[in-house]
Amino acid sequence: MTSDESRANPVVQLTAVRKEYSDSVALDGVSLGIRAGEAVAVMGPSGSGKSTLLNMVAGLDRPTSGSVVVNGEDLGKLSETGLALFRRRRIGMIFQFFNLLDDLPALDNVALAAQLTGTSAAQARARALELLDELGIAGRRNVYPAQLSGGERQRVAVARALMNRPALLLADEPTGALDSRSGEQVMDLLLDLNQIGQTLLLVTHDERLAKQCATRVIQVVDGRIAATAGLERSS
């Protein structure tokens, strides 16, 4: 597949996705395509279904109806193990509260993602160090999460997400728990990643983050896509 073809085929394709919980409908007939290299921001009020949408794409949750195809894989047809392998190989995830293992230093937190695939400890650590170096925190590699600043923790989380060279990077409120300076650093980081071709889907309340990083913004209201808008990224 050529680079142009790759860009034409959607990395993510949601078709009429509906997600019901016992007492509510989180997503209601959502259809959405994301092409390779795109940076899509999902915005909307609390409880609108943004995180549910992200969970569907990550294979963390299954739709009640409709289909979710990511990088050519129909997630509805995968077992729990299949979904885990899919996430391991295709998805990188960044969380609002970092979700690092407190018992491991930064380097081993990053290396963990590769070690789960069977990569040796030495190889995984070498690659993790490379990533931490690229993200400017190699000097903090032996520091435990509790001793890192919020921004540093999120950089470690980004490094971990990139460890297995994912087709799609998912970020759930990546700046939500950070001060403004750390938030900006993370925004720059995501922008840089997208500019070198990393497909990005982020959920955020932060309009500045959306404007700076996303090429397209999707507004979700009451579980439906209310609006879609292409963006010229602010510099």
Which residues contribute to the site for another protein (CB under 8 A)?
Answer: 51-52, 55, 58, 60-61, 80-81, 84-85, 87-89, 91, 93, 95, 97, 99-105, 108, 111-113, 115-118, 120-122, 125, 144-147, 160-161, 164
In the complex, minimum distance from the CB of residue 46 to another protein, in angstroms, rounded to a whole number = 12
For residue 110, which of 46, 60, 57, 99 has the smallest C-alpha distance? Answer: 99
In the three-class reduction of DSSP (H, G, I as helix; E, B as strand; rest coil), residue 60 is classed as: coil
In the complex, minimum distance from the CB of residue 112 to another protein, in angstroms, rounded to a whole number = 6
Query: How many Cα neighbours within 13 Å face the side chain of 95?
Result: 8
In the complex, minimum distance from the CB of residue 166 to another protein, in angstroms, rounded to a whole number = 10
Q: Which is nearer to another protein, 160 or 206 (CB)?
A: 160
In the complex, minimum distance from the CB of residue 10 to another protein, in angstroms, rounded to a whole number = 22
In the complex, minimum distance from the CB of residue 2 to another protein, in angstroms, rounded to a whole number = 29
Inter-residue contact 19 to 26 (CB < 8 Å) = yes
For residue 204, which of 53, 17, 25, 36 has the smallest C-alpha distance? Answer: 53
The tokens of 101 are what? Answer: 């293992």
Q: Which is nearer to another protein, 107 or 210 (CB)?
A: 107
For residue 178, which of 213, 145, 205, 153 has the smallest C-alpha distance? Answer: 153
Q: Which is nearer to another protein, 178 or 212 (CB)?
A: 178
In the complex, minimum distance from the CB of residue 180 to another protein, in angstroms, rounded to a whole number = 24
Q: Which is nearer to another protein, 121 or 227 (CB)?
A: 121
Q: Which is nearer to another protein, 30 or 111 (CB)?
A: 111
The percent helix, strand, coil of the chain (3-state, each to 5) is 40, 25, 30
Write b or e for each residue in 197-224: b if 16 or more Cβ atoms lie within 10 A of its Cβ, otherwise e.
Answer: ebbbbbbbebeebbebbbbbbbbbeebe
In the three-class reduction of DSSP (H, G, I as helix; E, B as strand; rest coil), residue 172 is classed as: strand
Q: Which is nearer to another protein, 108 or 206 (CB)?
A: 108
